Structure 1
Amino acid sequence: MLLHLNIQNFAIVRSLDIDWRKGMTTITGETGAGKSIAIDALGLCLGDRALTNVVRPNTKKAELAATFDINKNISAQKWLKNNGLSLTDEHDAELDCECILRRVISAEGRSKAYINGSQVPLAQLKDIAQFLISIHGQHDHQLIVKPAQQRKILDEYADHQHLLDDVQYYYQQWRNLKTELKKLQESKEQREAKSQLLQYQVTELDEFSLQTGEFQILESDYKRHSNGQSLLTGTLKALQVLSENENHNISDSLRNNCEQLNDLVHMDPNLANIANTLSEALILVEDANDELKHYYDKLELDPEAYQMIEDRYSLAIQLAKKHQVAPEHLPTLHLEIKQALHLINSDGSRLDTAYVDIEKAKTHYQQSAQTLSTSRIKSAKKLSKKISLSMKELNMNNGIFDVSVQQVDVEALSPFGLDEINFLISLNPGQKLEAMNKVASGGELSRISLAMQVILADKVITPTLIFDEVDVGISGPTAAMVGSKLQELAQNTQVICVTHLPQVACKGHQQLFVSKLTDGEFTETKVTELSANGRVQEIARLLAGNKITDNSLANAQELLAG
């Protein structure tokens, strides 16, 4: 509930502190005194748009702060905790039971918002506001003739948000699938053209079927075969030098030298190391000679094999150039093109399954919408009876109210279901039910709107309800009934009501009086909590005007006593 409101330099308010109580608070005052100024200030604390003219003249900024008790408001506590905005103090556990909304507006129009001392985006004030206060203005009755508002009122009364959530979920699913289908259809020709190209490329690479690492082997074999004659000639010359030349070769020369040095080692041991080195060199030369001879014997010029290698090697290079990759990367490219083709073909398959999925989503939607319709029809009957009864209590004795729920074309999907909802009334015997805006006056609409607000208040989760002059156009016995209904509502909810009716003002557990003072140069609004005697005087003023009589005082006392 709202505990305290502090206003500094706002409009014609210089400084104002208001403490609010449980139950029902009524706000009264003379015309033009600014009875709604506290409500306007609260609205800014709750995230309303600020204009530059809200700052008191000749001041730099307006500051507004509203303090709420959230001890039993689990939703607000949870929101603050989730957003890291809870008040915490190890020495004062009660701080966690409060929420302070603050707004600072400069004369230039700049605005800052705070929750529990932390600066926040303005949107967060609006987010937390839904758990703290619900404000009903004097022009709300103009909204109830609009189809969207009528649907909202019925759904709030029915309290079936989970059914609305189901309908909106399947509607969004259906819509997303329709969007996906449209994109698939639009890209079908492009996809088919690309599929043909990829299929051609895959077939070409499948036929060539170059394996990972194969090109490196091909390249080596190609070089060896293309230089076969040179290799034969070169290796033969090398063999001649190493061992094959009968007149002179390295092997025989080294062998002779080794034998000579070994004989000399007996004469001088210092030659042993040299002899050993030459022996090792001889072994290495002989090993090299054996390997070279083996290589030479295996080396053969096979024109057919060479032709096959050359053809495959050349084709690999051609394909690599065609696809603009290195030849050794062709196997990787082959795999990538296969995967791309698979994806495109999957899109084609998806086109077929999309139709099925759309129909499934549509079926789920229609089932959910039908369940929602059933709930609406059931609640519409109850709401019609309640509002019809309230209309009689509010001096519309022959009034009949009917909430019409008609299902539109089941093919016309919307996020709010398949129902067309209309509020119909009849105000006179024998008069057929018609749309409210056709037969009801502004005052009658205002009374019907108030009846709805009182009925719906039980469904509202916010602990504070504000009614800002919603009793416009009401008087006499009707006003007394309005006051009684608001007082009844205040048994479980904090109710704040700006009113000009004595029959409503007298029902408050607390009454605030708004006055306007001026010294000829500056004007200032003040809000005072009235004492018991002050309430009698103010109720008498509302009854009789500025000239208070003994009769009006007696009537005021009677109203307050009732």
Structure 2
Amino acid sequence: MLLQLNIQNFAIVRQLDIEWQGGMTTITGETGAGKSIAIDALGLCLGDRAVTNVVRPNCKKAELTASFAIDNNALAKQWLEQHDISFDGECILRRVISSEGRSRAYINGSQVPLAQLKEVGQLLVNIHGQHDHQLIVKNTEQRRLLDSFANHTNLLDDVKYYYQQWRALVAELKRLEENQQQREAQRQLLEYQVKELDEFALQDDEFSQLEHDFKRFSHSQHLLSETLHTLQLLSENEQFNAVDSIRKSADSLADLSEYDESLKAISDLLQESLIQVEEASNDLRHYHDRLELDPETYQMIEERYSTALQLAKKHQVAPEQLSHYHQELVAQLNGISSDETRLANMYSEIEKAKQNYLDVANKLSLSRQKAANGLSKRITKSMRELNMPHGNFTIAVNNPCADANQEPLTSQQLNDQALSSHGLDDVSFLVSINPGQALEAMNKVASGGELSRISLAMQVILAEKVVSPALIFDEVDVGISGPTAAMVGAKLQELAASTQVICVTHLPQVACKGHQQLFVAKLTDGEHTETTVTELSEQGRVKEIARLLAGDKISEHSLANAKELLAS
């Protein structure tokens, strides 16, 4: 239940701190005093969209905080646990709105996205606005109300799931069919390209080896002559070579080291160098001996190397990437073949998805029919209790996808245009007010006051069906007066036995039913305007009820009537 609402610098409110009680709270005040301001502020705490003019003039920001007791609210506690938000018996929603329109939201001190504020808010309170009765003439709202009463959320989710699945498959089929001709042309090109590259069959990293071998063979004569010349210099020239020179120099310095030991280190270095030069000379001899000048091998390498360069240029890729490009073309060709196979199977998949949708949509239709019968009886009863003694209410659930005997059609008979994410049914609220009057659409036969009473009856019934810790009614009794108003007050008071009810009203018959009554007043000094909210004492309630009965001139008679209403 709602415990406290703190409002700072919001609209014409400078500072308000309202303590709420269980049972039924009524909010009254003069027209234009701002009776709905607390409801508007609470709506922002629950995630409503903010605009810049909500901030009090000459203030930088508005700050709104609502505290809820959640000890007995398992869904709210579960939501907070799932989102790792700590709580200790309370859920505190806070909204800060700057004068520029920027907004920040908090739950129990943790900053959260506005969407999360809205999610948890739906588990804490339901607000019924003064214009809700205007919505119930719309078929979409009528379907929503029936589904809320039926509480078949799983069926609604299943219908939406299979509808989206069917839509996705139909869209995929359309794309595949539209691209079929283009895919065929692309397939022919890819088959030619893949065949050409298959025949060449360049392996991974083969081009690097080809390039290396081509360079070696094309310069083999130069390599032979130069390596032979280097061998002569290193070790094979009888007149002079590096090996003999280093050996003689090392031996000479070794002999001289008998006279000067410092030459021994130099001699050792030359001996080490001699070993390395001899190893280099031996390796070079092996390399020279292994050099091949086979013209046939060279021709084969040259041709393959040249072909690789030509194919790379043709396909506009680097030669090193030709093998990888070949694999990509094969994958594209396989993808096109896969699309063709997919296209062949699409029709049966769409038919299956459509049948799955039809199965759950028909279950949803049956559930709606059953709920419609129960809700129609309850609303008819409430209408008669609310001073419409001859009122009758019927909910028509029409499945256009059934035959004349209301037998569901098969998926082959079903027109695709009839499918929707909310099922197959057209839901219509039909009402008659007077004896002998035929059932017709609500907006054709019900006045504004009668629509208000029917809307209130629905809200009370739905509130009983969908348990909410707090219910707020913002002038839902508009257009109602006299004995009917007393019946409306009794209905709300009856509802308050099981849940917290907060009602903004202008009717004394409703205001007197509250366990708590708040009075809203607007004060001005000529330059500034401010709204205040005061909890009325027993004597204050008598005066306020008398004002609602008689207007500004309160008489002894109106005070007596007020006391009588409160006593009742």
| Residue 389 to residue 312, structure 1, CA distance change in 2 (3 Å) | same
Aligned to 1:4: 4
Contact 1:181 1:354 (C-alpha < 8 Å) held by counterparts: yes
- What is the letter of the counterpart of residue 79 of structure 1? W
Secondary structure of 1:408 counterpart = coil
**Aligned counterparts of 1:9 and 1:340: Cα–Cα separation in 2:** 64
Normalising by structure 2, report the TM-score: 0.80
Aligned to 1:114: 106
| Residue 399 to residue 316, structure 1, CA distance change in 2 (3 Å) | same
Contact 1:77 1:86 (C-alpha < 8 Å) held by counterparts: no
Pick from 117, 128, 144: which aligns with 1:136? Answer: 128
Deviations 1:268-326 (A, max 9, x none): xxxxxxxxxxxx9xx99999999899879xx786x777665654454344333323445
**Aligned counterparts of 1:531 and 1:153: Cα–Cα separation in 2:** 38
Secondary structure of 2:21 counterpart = coil
Aligned to 1:474: 480
Are residues 1:405 and 2:397 paired? yes
**Aligned counterparts of 2:28 and 2:109: Cα–Cα separation in 1:** 32
Deviations 1:333-369 (A, max 9, x none): 3333222211222122222223332222211111111
Deviations 1:245-275 (A, max 9, x none): xxxx989x99xx9xxxxxxxxxxxxxxxxxx
Structure 1: tracts of 5 or more residues without a match: 88-95, 240-248, 258-279
Deviations 1:57-87 (A, max 9, x none): 5555443322211222233233334444435
| Residue 339 to residue 557, structure 1, CA distance change in 2 (3 Å) | same
| Residue 522 to residue 337, structure 1, CA distance change in 2 (3 Å) | closer
- What is the letter of the counterpart of residue 178 of structure 2? E
Structure 2: tracts of 5 or more residues without a match: 245-274, 402-413
**Aligned counterparts of 1:463 and 1:211: Cα–Cα separation in 2:** 72
Listed as ranges, the matches of 1:320-331 within 5 Å are 320-325=312-317, 327=319, 329-331=321-323
Contact 1:131 1:461 (C-alpha < 8 Å) held by counterparts: no
Aligned to 1:484: 490
| Residue 238 to residue 445, structure 1, CA distance change in 2 (3 Å) | closer
- What is the letter of the counterpart of residue 120 of structure 2? I
Secondary structure of 2:370 counterpart = helix
Secondary structure of 1:458 counterpart = helix
Deviates more, 1:283-292 or 1:378-387: 283-292
Q: CA deviation at 1:238?
A: 13
| Residue 203 to residue 541, structure 1, CA distance change in 2 (3 Å) | same
Aligned to 2:368: 376
Secondary structure of 2:119 counterpart = helix
Q: CA deviation at 1:109?
A: 4.7
Over aligned residue pairs, what C-alpha RMSD do you find? 4.1
Secondary structure of 1:71 counterpart = coil
Are residues 1:393 and 2:385 paired? yes
Deviates more, 1:374-383 or 1:101-110: 101-110
Are residues 1:195 and 2:201 paired? no
Are residues 1:510 and 2:502 paired? no
Aligned to 2:28: 28
**Aligned counterparts of 1:422 and 1:70: Cα–Cα separation in 2:** 37
Pick from 303, 315, 318: which aligns with 2:310? Answer: 318
Secondary structure of 2:188 counterpart = helix
- What is the letter of the counterpart of residue 520 of structure 2? V
Q: Percent identity?
A: 67
| Residue 44 to residue 207, structure 1, CA distance change in 2 (3 Å) | closer
Secondary structure of 2:136 counterpart = coil
Are residues 1:362 and 2:368 paired? no
Aligned to 2:327: 335
**Aligned counterparts of 1:8 and 1:289: Cα–Cα separation in 2:** 93
Contact 2:520 2:534 (C-alpha < 8 Å) held by counterparts: yes
| Residue 203 to residue 556, structure 1, CA distance change in 2 (3 Å) | same
Q: Give the number of equivalent residue pairs.
A: 533
Are residues 1:169 and 2:180 paired? no
Are residues 1:527 and 2:519 paired? no
Q: CA deviation at 1:388?
A: 0.9
**Aligned counterparts of 1:181 and 1:192: Cα–Cα separation in 2:** 16
Deviations 1:115-139 (A, max 9, x none): 3334444444323321222111111
Contact 2:224 2:288 (C-alpha < 8 Å) held by counterparts: no
Are residues 1:445 and 2:451 paired? yes
- What is the letter of the counterpart of residue 86 of structure 1? S
Are residues 1:537 and 2:543 paired? yes
**Aligned counterparts of 1:32 and 1:163: Cα–Cα separation in 2:** 45
Are residues 1:185 and 2:191 paired? no
Q: CA deviation at 1:21?
A: 0.5
Secondary structure of 1:6 counterpart = strand
**Aligned counterparts of 1:153 and 1:431: Cα–Cα separation in 2:** 25
| Residue 308 to residue 512, structure 1, CA distance change in 2 (3 Å) | closer
Secondary structure of 1:430 counterpart = coil
**Aligned counterparts of 2:343 and 2:433: Cα–Cα separation in 1:** 57
Listed as ranges, the matches of 1:57-72 within 5 Å are 57=57, 59-72=59-72
| Residue 14 to residue 333, structure 1, CA distance change in 2 (3 Å) | closer
Deviations 1:81-110 (A, max 9, x none): 4444435xxxxxxxx222222334445555
Aligned to 1:465: 471
Aligned to 2:75: 75
Deviations 1:160-219 (A, max 9, x none): 111110011111111222222222233323322222122111111222234456556766
Contact 1:80 1:86 (C-alpha < 8 Å) held by counterparts: yes
**Aligned counterparts of 2:227 and 2:55: Cα–Cα separation in 1:** 103
**Aligned counterparts of 2:302 and 2:525: Cα–Cα separation in 1:** 110
Deviates more, 1:33-42 or 1:362-371: 33-42
Are residues 1:126 and 2:118 paired? yes
Secondary structure of 2:465 counterpart = coil
Deviations 1:374-409 (A, max 9, x none): 111110111111111111111111111111111134
Contact 2:227 2:284 (C-alpha < 8 Å) held by counterparts: no
Pick from 139, 157, 177: which aligns with 1:147? Answer: 139
Secondary structure of 2:459 counterpart = helix
Aligned to 1:422: 428
- What is the letter of the counterpart of residue 77 of structure 2? Q
| Residue 220 to residue 538, structure 1, CA distance change in 2 (3 Å) | closer
Which has more radius of gyration? 1
**Aligned counterparts of 1:444 and 1:502: Cα–Cα separation in 2:** 19
